[in-house]
């Protein structure tokens, strides 16, 4: 474990240097990350305003708190490794990684952390500004804050592992763009980006059974205080279950995929 | 067009074995040239030996390990260098990527320093290590790629076209480096190259494959003996002369004639030339055909045999 941390530190230093050279790109990515939830927040606020300031049990201020939380969680749990993995396979860059005594997954873990560390300082003031503009109302207690930490970590790990699950299909297809488009749409629909799950109507009951909500919706609800402590603990348990399943699925697919790997482009 | 449309609905796959019945052993400290035309199965074999590919059948042992199990013990002691392929981070200096490799391979500071100093010395890396990799020329990048591939002091090196695209000076430097590394560390090296200079300079033994099958495994010198049944006699006389009666004239420039004779007759023909022309002869050499020519002949004959279904 100590050795792994040393490896992580070395990769972190190298990747941070590389990321520092593309600051503008990071800011643009951040902008994209903010635009979508702000658009949805504006739309839900407008819709709520026409219905006496409330939809279901959520007021405009609740929507504001939810979307501020969703934006933060979305950024903290973002994972793009499937696209990177596809490129690595197609360009033959996976091969040198496979020949080192370190699982390729570890590089992505650090790259992922680097991006978040690099962009978080710019995101936080923007979120404060949005919260202030839309008068977000948080019902968060210290208990929620405490539970938010494991919940967002589990959500990040879950999104990351699902990204890797999708990525491993590239061993067979060398392309995962199509699969990722489907996956991204499912996340969009069922993870709570479009709307809090409780407002999904008939889809809500499906959404609770799917893993996507536990990537965004669950930690966001915990952060804004929209779930009771008991509900929060239940959500965390389900997150842990999905994480364990995705990890097992990944291990199996990875072993099968390696057998299939044709090391193209290398 | 029709075939493309049809493939959208019903795809047909054809299984093509990339490598078949290729067996060989390589001793510790040996440098072996692995030759074959494009598509012969060289890179496929190297990928199997390094563990990137699972073969459908057969057995491979490298330092006692089965490569595709990718055990730490093996990965820490082998390397695969592919010309024109990069394993370094593009945007940062190589020195920083090497630090990452130090941690991945768990090299102590002392081992890392010693290894880096040695590589810096052999490859003249000092001015290159602190520039972003993207700013290096192809030749310079290849040198730092070598450093990255060898920082953990591997005992087995798979070199796939390591000098491809490099100028003559850089090719010679890389060759010298590979030879020095082999001498210093006793590492075993399997090398593919389309530049015969690489093979002649480094390899006493060569393995030739074609269409995934082994054609020859033995001494480089023996390859010419076995595969090219003729020798070349180059004679320079003090005047113009027609020497066609001594053998097939391959080339004739001013007073120098090159004759092709069968291997068995080479000694007799040479003696005869010396006997008949000794007063007019300025120079005479007897040599094997150029290795490129031999290889080319091997491949074209194999191609013909294959086409004829032999």
A-facing residues of B in 171-230 (CB < 8 A) are: none
Write down the residue that tokens 């208990």 correspond to.
A143
- Examine the domain organization and report whether B184 and B278 are in the same domain: no
- C-alpha–C-alpha distance, residues A186 and A35, integer Å: 19
pLDDT in tens, B130-179: 999 999 988 888 889 989 999 999 999 999 988 887 788 888 888 998 99
- Examine the domain organization and report whether B104 and B240 are in the same domain: no
- Examine the domain organization and report whether B203 and B269 are in the same domain: no
Nearest Cα to Cα of residue A223 among A157, A145, A166: A145
Please, which residues have CB within 8 angstroms of residue B218's CB and are 6 or more apart in sequence?
B205, B206, B226
Q: Do B47 and A9 touch (CB under 8 A)?
A: no
- Examine the domain organization and report whether B153 and B258 are in the same domain: no
Mean confidence (pLDDT) of chain B: 87
Section A36-55 average pLDDT? 90
- Examine the domain organization and report whether B204 and B246 are in the same domain: no
Burial of A147 (0-12, 13-18, 19+ CB in 10 A): buried
Identify whether B299 is part of a domain: no
**ipTM score of complex:** 0.86
pLDDT category at B304 given cuts 50, 70, 90 is: low
Q: Looking at the 3D structure of chain B, how many domains does it have? A: 2
Angstrom distances, CA of residue A241 to CA of A70, B11, B159: 22, 39, 45
Please, which residues have CB within 8 angstroms of residue B88's CB and are 6 or more apart in sequence?
B94, B97, B133, B141, B144, B145, B148
Q: Who among B54, B75, B104 is closest to A7 (CB)? A: B104
- Examine the domain organization and report whether B220 and B85 are in the same domain: yes
Identify whether B292 is part of a domain: no
pLDDT in tens, B242-258: 888 888 998 888 888 99
- Closest-CA residue of B relative to A95 is B52
- Examine the domain organization and report whether B122 and B243 are in the same domain: no
Identify whether B302 is part of a domain: no
- Examine the domain organization and report whether B136 and B254 are in the same domain: no
Identify whether B4 is part of a domain: no
Name the domain boundary from B196, B224, B252: B224
- Examine the domain organization and report whether B260 and B190 are in the same domain: no
Q: Do B85 and A261 touch (CB under 8 A)?
A: no
Identify whether B301 is part of a domain: no
**A129 and A47 in contact (C-beta within 8 Å)?**
no
Name the domain boundary from B177, B206, B224: B224
Supply the range of the domain harboring residue B42: 15-224
pLDDT category at B310 given cuts 50, 70, 90 is: very low
- Examine the domain organization and report whether B143 and B158 are in the same domain: yes
CATH number at residue B194: 3.40.50.300
Q: Do B103 and A92 touch (CB under 8 A)?
A: no
- Examine the domain organization and report whether B134 and B273 are in the same domain: no
A-facing residues of B in 77-96 (CB < 8 A) are: 78-80, 82, 85-87, 89-92, 96
CATH number at residue B257: 3.30.70
Question: Minimal Cα–Cα distance from B71 to chain A, Å?
Answer: 8
Q: What is the largest CA-CA distance in chain B?
A: 80
- Examine the domain organization and report whether B131 and B265 are in the same domain: no
pLDDT in tens, A147-199: 999 999 999 999 999 999 999 988 888 788 888 899 999 998 899 988 888 88
Identify whether B297 is part of a domain: no
pTM of the entire predicted model: 0.83
Nearest Cα to Cα of residue A231 among A244, A217, A245, A242: A217
- C-alpha–C-alpha distance, residues B220 and B160, integer Å: 19
Question: Minimal Cα–Cα distance from B79 to chain A, Å?
Answer: 7
């Amino acid at each position: 474990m100590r050795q792994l941390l040393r490896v992580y530190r070395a990769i972190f230093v190298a990747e941070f240097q590389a990321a520092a050279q593309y600051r503008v790109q990071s800011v643009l990515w951040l902008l994209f990350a903010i635009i979508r939830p702000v658009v949805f927040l504006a739309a839900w606020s407008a819709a709520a305003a026409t219905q006496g300031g409330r939809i279901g049990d959520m007021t405009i201020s609740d929507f504001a708190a939810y979307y501020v939380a969703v934006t933060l969680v979305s950024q903290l749990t973002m994972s793009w490794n499937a696209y990177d993995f596809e490129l690595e396979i197609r360009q033959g860059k996976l091969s040198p990684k496979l020949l080192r005594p370190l699982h390729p997954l570890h590089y992505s873990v650090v790259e992922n952390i680097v991006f978040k560390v690099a962009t978080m300082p710019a995101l936080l003031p923007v979120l404060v500004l949005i919260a202030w503009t839309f008068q977000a109302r948080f019902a968060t207690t210290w208990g929620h804050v405490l539970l938010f930490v494991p919940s967002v970590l589990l959500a990040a790990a879950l999104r990351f592992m699902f990204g890797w699950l999708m990525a491993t299909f590239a061993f067979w297809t060398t392309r995962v763009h199509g699969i990722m488009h489907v996956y991204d749409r499912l996340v969009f629909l069922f993870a709570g980006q479009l709307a809090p799950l409780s407002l999904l109507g008939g889809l809500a009951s499906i959404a609770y059974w799917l893993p996507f909500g536990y990537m965004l919706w669950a930690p966001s609800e915990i952060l804004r205080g929209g779930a009771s402590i008991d509900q929060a603990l239940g959500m965390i348990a389900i997150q842990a279950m999905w994480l364990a399943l995705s990890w097992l699925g990944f291990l199996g697919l990875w072993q099968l995929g390696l057998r299939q790997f044709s090391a193209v482009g290398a | 067009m029709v075939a493309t449309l049809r493939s959208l609905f019903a795809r047909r796959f054809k299984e093509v074995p990339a490598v078949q019945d290729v067996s060989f052993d390589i001793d510790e400290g040996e440098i072996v040239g692995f030759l074959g035309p494009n598509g012969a199965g060289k890179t496929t074999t190297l990928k199997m030996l390094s563990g990137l590919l699972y073969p459908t059948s057969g057995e491979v042992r490298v330092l006692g390990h089965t490569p595709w199990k990718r055990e730490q013990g093996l990965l820490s002691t082998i390397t695969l260098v592919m010309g024109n392929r990069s394993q370094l981070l593009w945007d940062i200096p190589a020195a920083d990527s090497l630090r990452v490799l130090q941690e991945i391979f768990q090299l102590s500071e002392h081992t890392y320093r010693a290894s880096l100093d040695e590589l810096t010395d052999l490859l003249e890396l000092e001015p290159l290590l602190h520039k972003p990799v993207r700013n290096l020329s192809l030749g310079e990048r290849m040198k730092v790629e070598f450093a990255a591939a060898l920082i953990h002091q591997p005992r087995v090196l798979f070199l796939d076209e390591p000098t491809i695209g490099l100028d003559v000076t850089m090719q010679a430097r890389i060759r010298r480096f590979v030879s020095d590394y082999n001498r210093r560390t006793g590492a075993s090296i399997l090398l593919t190259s389309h530049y015969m200079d690489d093979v002649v300079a480094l390899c006493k033994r060569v393995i030739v494959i074609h269409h995934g099958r082994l054609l020859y495994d033995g001494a480089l010198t023996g390859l010419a003996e076995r595969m090219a049944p003729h020798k070349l006699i180059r004679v320079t006389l003090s005047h113009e002369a027609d020497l066609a009666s001594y053998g097939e004239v391959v080339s004739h420039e001013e007073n120098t004639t090159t004759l092709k004779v069968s291997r068995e007759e080479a000694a007799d023909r040479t003696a005869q030339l010396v006997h008949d022309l000794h007063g007019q002869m300025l120079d005479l050499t007897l040599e094997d055909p150029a290795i490129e020519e031999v290889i080319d002949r091997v491949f074209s004959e194999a191609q013909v045999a294959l086409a004829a279904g032999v």
